[in-house]
Amino acid sequence: MYQTLVLIHILSAIIGVGPTFFAHVLFRKEQSISELRSSLSMFKKLEIFPKIGGTLAVITGIILYFIGEWGAFTQLWLLGTLILYILIQILIIAFIGPKSKKLRLYLSDPTTGRLDVLPSEYKKMFYQANRLFWLASTMGVLIFILMILKPSGL
């Protein structure tokens, strides 16, 4: 039972955080408007993975903590990973999600069909989302480092 829970936890964490790393490909700076439309459509489809996988990772992590002997909850690797995960969710849900939705809606408007370049307002939004994805990816890497090395303090 314990090993199965560990397996579910690890797989759900990888699946949950994975699209964050893949988003850099979708939000690359040098792409045509047509490619950007496709990228935003793909991103919308990928959003389900962090929602389900990330939630499952947190739930299984909490269960693993209570059924295992991991010591104090305030250890850097435990508390740190939880805080980083929450920050990633905030970035994705509160900042990146709305920006990508505005971009997607703008580009799906029939009047933007022949658009060659993004207007400056939307280009700025796109670049902000890209930078936030880099931040979220960095935090995701830190989560994996903390979970693997399990440091007890700084």
The pLDDT value recorded for residue 50 is 80
Q: Quick check: helix, strand or coil at residue 114?
A: coil
pLDDT score for 132:
92
Nearest CA among 153, 142, 24 for reference residue 88: 142
Separation CA 106–CA 113 (nearest Å): 10
pLDDT at 60: 92
pLDDT of 124 reads 93
pLDDT at position 75 is 84
Chain centre to alpha carbon of residue 129: 12
- Answer whether 0.95 is exceeded by the pTM: no
Q: Give the position of tokens 């496709």.
A: 38
DSSP 152: S
Domain extents in the chain: 2-149
Closest to 18 (Cα-Cα) out of 143, 102, 115, 108:
143
73 and 83 Cβ atoms separated by less than 8 Å: no
- The pLDDT, as a whole number, for residue 86 is 86
pLDDT of residue 7: 92
User: pLDDT tens-digit profile of 119-148?
Assistant: 999 999 999 999 998 999 999 899 989 988
Q: Give every residue of the chain whose pLDDT is below 50, as ranges.
A: none
pLDDT at residue 154 in the model:
53
Residue type, 137: S
pLDDT score of 153: 63
> Residue 61, Cα to own-chain centre: how many angstroms?
18
- Give CA angle at 14 (9, 17), nearest 5°: 115
Q: How far apart are CA 48 and CA 90, in angstroms?
A: 15
